[in-house]
Amino acid sequence: MAKVLLVDTNFSAGPLQGELLQLGHEVHLCGGNPHDALAKAQPNYHPVNYADAHALAALADQLGIDHVVPGCNDRAYLSCAQARQHTGHTRYAGVDSLDVTLTINDKLKFRQCARQLDLTSPRVYLPTEALPTTPMIVKPVDAFSGQGITVLSTPKPSEVQHAIAHAKACSATGQALVEDWVEGQLYSHSAFLTGQRIVQSHVVVEHCVAHPHAVDTSHLAPHDLPAQALARLETELQRLAQHLALGDGLLHTQFIWDGSRCWLIELTRRCPGDLYSQLIELSVGRGYVRQYLAPFVGNAVQAQPTQAEPAHVLRHTLTLPEGGVLHHLRFNEPLQIERWVPVASTGEALTPAPKGRIALLFARATSVENLKHLAERAISRTLFTVNAP
């Protein structure tokens, strides 16, 4: 049995904790919010803010930790990479170097790397370059969940400068980037690498309902892309993995499919949040979480058995566009609820979407057509009504 430090206390890291315990490890958790789901009633919770990499490293030393596992957010992974660089300890063996982590997570560094490797990625405009008059997107280089993003369809100089100022204000380092806007459908590609080759992957279609740049509705979509397009995407990802000498483990990508090409938007090596892991496991069978954990706890990453035919499962985050007080909700059509993860409680004041979340819903559909129907109801905000009379 090994001592493992899970760097996350959000509910999305719950499956990671559960799998680590099932593997027989002694699991400790750290995070600065004692009200987080995994901090409550946990004997091995340590109230250490992991955004401070030195404090994280000191805690791991104090506890005699064998393995450190980043949770489901970018700050956790970045701090683990920083702690690895500070200490050089083998407990961070599954974590990328700090340089590689920044290349992947910093949007500007990633775009520069993509350009160097001739990957299919939107063009970035440097401050010294003339800006286009075609549609563009302005965003912070190091913020996530849609923060600080502005899309300009017919950009005017004053609008661009205002958007850049807004993006810089939302950036931890005060940096913004301007790039071409790519029109199309958002997807994610969640792949596991061994020897910088993809041994297993999952394709998920994603929709942004409550916020134009924050995913809240998704389901598996293994047959949406032509085989040739998927093969080209995976070839590019493997070329990136070889260039950066990525270790074995997860490489999770968000991309836009424009009908002919897959445009790389964002990549990460930490487990995606909002229980993405459970969408995969409810759809094709268990294995995703164990694959993610493998390199951090010294195990081999390998393909896992999956169901011959995926189950039809919708993941949807319930929110209120205008905010309000939660009393009850009514579903507007019958649902087979596979899993219900409450976030808010009765009587709680909810902030407007996307921050004020009610719950995460996993609903099982009877067919591909029924799954798409449920997704359409979720996207149009007609799947449920809050505080219906």
Domain with CATH 3.40.50.20 in the chain: 3-103
Name the residue type at position 121: S
Read off the pLDDT of residues 6-58 as tens digits, 9 standing for 90 and up. 999 999 999 999 999 999 999 999 999 999 999 998 889 999 999 999 999 99
Residue range 225-249: mean pLDDT, rounded: 98
Residue 119 forms beta bridges with which residues?
A: none
| Tokens of residue 90, six digits | 């083998």
Read off the pLDDT of residues 252-293 as tens digits, 9 standing for 90 and up. 999 999 999 999 999 999 999 999 999 999 999 999 999 999
Helix (H) or strand (E) holding 379: helix 368-379
DSSP E strand stretches across the chain = 3-7, 26-30, 45-46, 67-70, 124-125, 136-140, 150-152, 176-180, 185-194, 197-207, 217-220, 249-257, 262-268, 313-319, 324-325, 329-331, 336-342, 349-350, 357-364, 384-386
Name the residue type at position 362: F
Q: Are 230 and 222 in contact (CB under 8 A)?
A: no
Angle ∠(74,77,78) on CA atoms, nearest 5: 85
What does the pLDDT read at residue 143?
66
State the architecture of 185-386 in CATH terms: 2-Layer Sandwich (3.30)
Read off the pLDDT of residues 68-116 as tens digits, 9 standing for 90 and up. 999 999 999 999 999 999 999 999 999 999 999 999 999 889 999 999 9
Read off the pLDDT of residues 167-200 as tens digits, 9 standing for 90 and up. 888 888 888 888 999 999 999 999 999 999 999 9
Q: Residue 205, SS3?
A: strand
pTM for this predicted structure: 0.94
Domain with CATH 3.30.470.20 in the chain: 185-386
Residue range 120-128: mean pLDDT, rounded: 87
What does the pLDDT read at residue 376?
97
- Given a cut of 80, whether residue 146 has pLDDT beyond it is no
Tell me the C-alpha distance between 372 and 358, whole Å. Answer: 22
Residue range 305-334: mean pLDDT, rounded: 93
What does the pLDDT read at residue 144?
63
Share of the chain above pLDDT 90, in %: 79
What does the pLDDT read at residue 149?
87
Residue range 224-243: mean pLDDT, rounded: 97
State the architecture of 3-103 in CATH terms: 3-Layer(aba) Sandwich (3.40)
Q: How many CB atoms lie within 10 A of CB 228?
A: 8
CATH number corresponding to 123-180: 3.30.1490.20
Which of the four pLDDT bands, split at 50, 70 and 90, describes residue 386?
A: very high
Domain with CATH 3.30.1490.20 in the chain: 123-180
